[in-house]
């Protein structure tokens, strides 16, 4: 099984924390959609013979596509890939785009799952992050989508916003659960260097998020989501049973995926690729039938580290039998030695042949994984 990811690199405005590839210059949209359709054709051999079980339109902001533009891309997928066994089709949207008209045409497409970028139900925080929508629009967008019959809905929420009180975070979570969504992705605000927040922080011009607030909000997120019937199946992802995101789960389980569009990443066994993160250069290159991508062949050490890192972030953990099979018995023995102290401290649980993070251990996932990393020879 394999997945297809389509990157729609346009946004109405730049959110101050955002580190994704996007442009606010929408005049290239038509040409870019044509280029994405052509890239899908040019790369069809990369998934030849493979059954596609998930499609994901992400960004950027896919909800800036018109119905016509959506179908140009979708038809290119249908023509070039085996999607008859498709199990999930996710479409990312921002609340301010989800008008009745938009939802009506989307409802009649094969999209069966909506991922809505809400981030907060507080106007002050939305303004602080330069989001393009209001709290009211956020709330109503989910209600409207459900009323129209789109039942699989995920929302994104951000915690660790400077100055955000625990009470506000709890109220954000209560709002989310009251909307009866079946999936929540929740991330801590990070200040990436090339973002507005990152630049302000570097110049000491913004109040920094406090680590202790972020940690306590993460803990509350774990507890309240569990009480609301969600399973934390990955550090930042919470789903109702049977509503885990297939597309993301495939990433974490090292399944192949093809990423199309500027800035999109692809993964095939032993290989990672990424497209140029520049819309105009991407269009020019595709128009000349040239793929604007770079390829990295993953060493055994890279593959091992990636498996440990992604596996530990999930509820499925890392499988020692699989490590033995893929990387040899010495690697599995070394891993047990490297992680023994975390088992002793209770941050890591060892169950039969599987190691997984405990609830406490989820606060230290990156550090624990790096203790097991091997270095390239
Ligand atoms: S809408 Fe999403 S992709 Fe666009 S700037 Fe905001 S966070 Fe980034």
Q: Which of 188, 189, 6 is nearest to 80 (CA)?
A: 6
Question: CA-CA distance, 194 to 218, in Å (whole number)?
Answer: 25
The residue whose CA is least distant from atom 2 of ligand 1 is: 60
Q: Where are the domains of the chain?
A: 2-251, 300-372
Site of tokens 């301010």: 96
Say which residues have a Cβ less than 8 Å from residue 19's Cβ, sequence separation at least 6: 192, 194, 195
Atom of ligand 1 nearest to the CA of 60: 3
The pLDDT score that the predictor gives to residue 185 is 98
The pLDDT score that the predictor gives to residue 354 is 96
Q: Give the length of the chain.
A: 377
Residue 165 CA, ligand 1 centroid: distance in Å? 24
Prediction pTM value: 0.96
Atom of ligand 1 nearest to the CA of 119: 7
The pLDDT score that the predictor gives to residue 115 is 98
The residue whose CA is least distant from atom 6 of ligand 1 is: 15
The pLDDT score that the predictor gives to residue 43 is 98
The pLDDT score that the predictor gives to residue 127 is 98
- Percentage of residues in the chain having pLDDT higher than 90: 96
Atom of ligand 1 nearest to the CA of 17: 7
The pLDDT score that the predictor gives to residue 352 is 87
The preferred substitution site among 6, 19, 60 for testing ligand 1, maximizing ligand atoms within 8 Å of CB, is 60
The residue whose CA is least distant from atom 7 of ligand 1 is: 18
Beta bridge partners of 326: none
Taking 80 as the threshold, does the pLDDT of residue 376 lie above it?
no
Question: CA-CA distance, 41 to 258, in Å (whole number)?
Answer: 12
The preferred substitution site among 8, 12, 59, 187 for testing ligand 1, maximizing ligand atoms within 8 Å of CB, is 59
What would the pLDDT profile of 93-115 be if each residue is shown by its tens digit? 999 999 999 999 999 999 999 99
Question: CA-CA distance, 95 to 99, in Å (whole number)?
Answer: 8
Taking 90 as the threshold, does the pLDDT of residue 208 lie above it?
no
Atom of ligand 1 nearest to the CA of 94: 1
Q: Which of 339, 255, 16 is nearest to 158 (CA)?
A: 16
CATH node for 300-372 = 1.10.10.920
The pLDDT score that the predictor gives to residue 207 is 87
Question: CA-CA distance, 294 to 263, in Å (whole number)?
Answer: 11
Residue 316 CA, ligand 1 centroid: distance in Å? 30
Question: CA-CA distance, 73 to 75, in Å (whole number)?
Answer: 6
What would the pLDDT profile of 254-311 be if each residue is shown by its tens digit? 899 999 999 999 999 999 999 999 999 999 999 999 999 999 999 999 999 999 999 9
User: Which of 39-53, 199-213, 335-349 shows the lowest per-residue confidence on average (mean pLDDT)?
Assistant: 199-213
Residues with CB under 6 A from ligand 1: 11, 14-15, 18, 20, 22, 59-61, 94, 117
The dihedrals phi and psi of 265, each to the nearest 5 degrees, come to: -105, 150
What would the pLDDT profile of 55-84 be if each residue is shown by its tens digit? 999 999 999 999 999 999 999 999 999 999
Mean pLDDT, range 343-361, rounded to an integer: 95
CATH superfamily of 2-251: Aldolase class I (3.20.20.70)
Atom of ligand 1 nearest to the CA of 130: 6
What's the mean pLDDT when you consider all of the chain?
96
Mean pLDDT, range 338-348, rounded to an integer: 97
- The helix (run of H) or strand (run of E) holding residue 356 is strand 354-357
Taking 80 as the threshold, does the pLDDT of residue 220 lie above it?
yes
HEC string of 52-114 equals EEEEEEEECCHHHCCHHHHHHHHHHHHHHCECCCCCEEEEEECHHHCCHHHHHHHHCCCCCEE
The answer to whether residues 332 and 320 touch, using CB atoms and an 8 Å cutoff, is: yes
The pLDDT score that the predictor gives to residue 188 is 96
């Amino acid at each position: 099984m394999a997945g297809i990811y389509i990157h729609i690199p346009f946004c109405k405005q730049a959110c101050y924390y955002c580190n994704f590839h996007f442009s606010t210059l929408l005049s290239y949209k038509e040409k870019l959609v044509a280029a994405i359709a052509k890239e899908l054709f040019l790369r069809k051999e990369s998934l030849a013979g493979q059954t596609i079980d998930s499609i994901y339109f992400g960004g950027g902001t896919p909800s800036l596509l018109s119905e016509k533009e959506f179908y140009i891309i979708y038809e290119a997928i249908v023509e070039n890939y085996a999607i008859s066994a498709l199990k999930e089709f996710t479409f990312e949207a921002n609340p301010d785009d989800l008008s009745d008209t938009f939802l009506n045409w989307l409802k009649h497409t094969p999209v069966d799952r909506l991922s809505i970028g809400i981030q907060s139900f507080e106007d002050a925080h939305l303004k602080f992050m330069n989001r393009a929508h209001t709290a009211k629009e956020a709330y109503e967008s989910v209600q409207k989508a459900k009323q129209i019959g789109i039942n699989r809905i995920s929302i994104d929420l951000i915690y660790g916003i400077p100055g955000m009180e625990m009470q506000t975070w709890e109220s954000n979570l209560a709002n989310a659960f009251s909307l009866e969504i079946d999936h929540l992705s929740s991330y801590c605000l990070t200040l990436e260097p090339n973002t507005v927040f990152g630049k302000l922080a570097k110049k000491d011009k913004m109040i920094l998020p406090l680590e202790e607030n972020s940690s306590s909000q993460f803990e509350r997120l774990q507890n309240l989501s569990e009480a609301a019937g969600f399973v934390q199946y990955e550090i930042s992802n919470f789903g109702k049973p049977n509503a885990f995101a297939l597309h993301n789960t495939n990433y974490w389980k090292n399944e192949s995926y093809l990423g199309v569009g500027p800035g999109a990443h692809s993964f095939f066994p032993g290989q990672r690729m990424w497209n140029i993160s520049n819309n105009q250069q991407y269009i020019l290159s595709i128009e000349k039938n040239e793929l604007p991508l770079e390829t990295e062949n993953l060493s055994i050490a890279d593959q091992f580290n990636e498996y440990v890192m992604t596996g530990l972030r999930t509820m499925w953990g890392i499988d020692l039998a699989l490590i033995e099979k893929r990387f040899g018995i010495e690697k599995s023995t070394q891993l047990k030695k490297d992680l023994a102290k975390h088992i002793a401290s209770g941050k890591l649980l060892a169950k039969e042949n599987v190691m997984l993070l405990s609830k406490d251990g989820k606060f230290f996932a990156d550090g624990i994984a790096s203790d097991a990393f091997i270095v390239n020879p």
